[in-house]
């Protein structure tokens, strides 16, 4: 019997998830399907009834449903609650279990792109305190890495640091240059970098020579921050790998095979991003 999975969102045409999961289905010769389904917000409860009927093994959740589905899931992973978003659903025994794999995607991307990165990552500077920053903070806590959380709006960084707890020190973007000499890792989670926008006044020359800079923005792949870090001779990891690696746990849960993020998969998704 064909094992079925999905991604739900509204709209859904932009999602790269079908390309990723269909590539893996073909690679492993699995009798499975992965379909994008446009579910408007008012149709979500009916879709969850459909899920409990056993039609699907599970699927992904994207904008605008990542928060709404909390109330509809039968169980939610505690880390997804801390991150504040569910992006993966697994159906077991007529129950829908919600989790968040973005933090695993972030870690998988760094583990693959900069092996042993944690050895020199302490402390880290995380730029931005929006929705995506929450998954990054959970990921860095998972590896016991203390963080300076810098944001344009200081109050947002303060409330996020208090909400997540642990070794997270809030600050302003203007603190970057003072903190840089001791920082082993810089992570951009703001939308700066999208369409080629750049941080003003950052002196990457102040980062240690073994510093690592990563950006979760992946359009363009080489953001100005990454380009500047490369020019300074620092190690860099781009954001596309996070998108690819966050898909691994869902595929493994639905189809029973742990897939690999291969260069061929990356090339296929990269090609789909080209204008
Ligand atoms: P969000 O919740 O809207 O947060 C945006 C963040 O960017 C906030 O910290 C905001 O600061 C900051 N910001 C926006 N414009 C700024 C500016 N002009 N100057 C300084 N700071 C600015 O967005 P999000 O959901 O966290 O997503 C952020 C980015 O991550 C997006 O580009 C998204 O595509 C990317 N992303 C990538 C992946 C992946 O798999 N690679 C996954 C998730 C998200 P304030 O608090 O001051 O407004």
Q: By alpha-carbon position, which residue is closest to atom 14 of ligand 1?
A: 191
Judged by DSSP in three states, 171 sits in strand
Q: By alpha-carbon position, which residue is closest to atom 6 of ligand 1?
A: 190
pLDDT tens across 165-200, in order? 999 999 999 999 999 999 999 999 999 999 889 999
With beta carbons less than 8 A apart as the criterion, state whether 141 and 119 touch: no
Listed in sequence order, the residues at least 6 apart from 15 whose beta carbon sits closer than 8 Å to its beta carbon are: 7, 9, 36, 60, 62
Question: Nearest to residue 174, comparing CAs of 147, 203, 194, 198?
Answer: 203
pTM for the model stands at 0.94
Q: How far is the CA of 91 from the centre of ligand 1 (A)?
A: 31
Please tell me the distance from the alpha carbon of residue 139 to that of residue 100, in angstroms, as a whole number: 11
Identify which of 20, 190, 242, 243 to mutate to test ligand 1's pocket (most ligand atoms within 8 A of the CB): 190
pLDDT tens across 56-88, in order? 999 999 999 999 999 999 999 999 999 999 999
Please tell me the distance from the alpha carbon of residue 274 to that of residue 196, in angstroms, as a whole number: 14
Please tell me the distance from the alpha carbon of residue 217 to that of residue 103, in angstroms, as a whole number: 15
pLDDT of residue 129: 97
> CB burial class (10 A; 0-12, 13-18, 19+) of residue 221?
middle
* CB-side neighbour CA atoms (13 Å) of 224: 14
pLDDT tens across 17-69, in order? 999 999 999 999 999 999 999 999 999 999 999 999 999 999 999 999 999 99
Identify which of 109, 128, 170 to mutate to test ligand 1's pocket (most ligand atoms within 8 A of the CB): 128
Could you tell me how many residues make up the chain? 275
Look at strands 192-195 and 58-61 and give their pairing: unpaired
> Residue 94: what are its φ and ψ, rounded to 5°?
65, 15
pLDDT tens across 202-250, in order? 999 999 999 999 999 998 999 999 999 999 999 999 999 999 999 999 9
pLDDT tens across 126-173, in order? 999 998 999 999 999 999 999 999 999 999 999 999 999 999 999 999
Looking up tokens 């080489």 gives 222
Please tell me the distance from the alpha carbon of residue 271 to that of residue 195, in angstroms, as a whole number: 17
pLDDT of residue 195: 85
Please tell me the distance from the alpha carbon of residue 17 to that of residue 241, in angstroms, as a whole number: 13
Q: How far is the CA of 265 from the centre of ligand 1 (A)?
A: 26
8 dihedral zone (left: phi>0; alpha: psi -120 to 50; beta) = beta
> CB burial class (10 A; 0-12, 13-18, 19+) of residue 3?
middle
Q: Which residues line ligand 1 (CB under 6 A)?
A: 102, 105, 128-133, 151-153, 156, 189-192, 194, 216-218, 239, 242-243, 246
Active site residue 66: yes
């Amino acid at each position: 019997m064909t094992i079925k999975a999905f991604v739900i969102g509204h709209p859904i045409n932009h999602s790269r998830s079908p390309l990723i999961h269909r590539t893996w289905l073909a690679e492993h010769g699995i009798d499975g399907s992965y379909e994008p389904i446009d579910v408007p917000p008012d149709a979500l409860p009916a879709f969850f009834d459909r899920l409990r009927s056993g039609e699907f093994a599970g699927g992904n959740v994207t904008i605008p449903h990542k928060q709404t589905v909390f109330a509809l899931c039968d169980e939610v992973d505690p880390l997804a609650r801390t991150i504040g978003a569910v992006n993966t659903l697994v159906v077991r025994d007529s129950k829908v279990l919600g989790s968040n794999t973005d933090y695993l995607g972030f870690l998988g991307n760094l583990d693959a792109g900069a092996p042993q990165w944690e050895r020199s990552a302490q402390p880290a500077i995380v730029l931005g305190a929006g929705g995506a920053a929450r998954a990054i903070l959970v990921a860095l806590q998972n590896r016991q890495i203390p963080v300076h959380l810098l944001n344009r709006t200081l109050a947002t960084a303060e409330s996020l640091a208090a909400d997540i707890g642990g070794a997270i020190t809030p600050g302003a973007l203007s603190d970057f240059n003072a903190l840089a000499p001791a920082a082993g890792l810089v992570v951009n989670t703001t939308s700066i970098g999208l369409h080629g926008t750049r941080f003003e006044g950052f002196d990457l020359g102040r980062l240690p020579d073994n510093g690592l800079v990563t950006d979760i923005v992946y359009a363009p792949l080489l953001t100005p921050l990454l380009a500047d870090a490369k020019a300074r001779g620092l190690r860099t990891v781009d954001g596309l790998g996070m998108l690819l690696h966050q898909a691994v746990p869902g595929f493994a849960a639905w189809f029973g095979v742990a897939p690999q993020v291969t260069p061929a998969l990356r090339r296929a998704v990269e090609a789909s991003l080209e204008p």
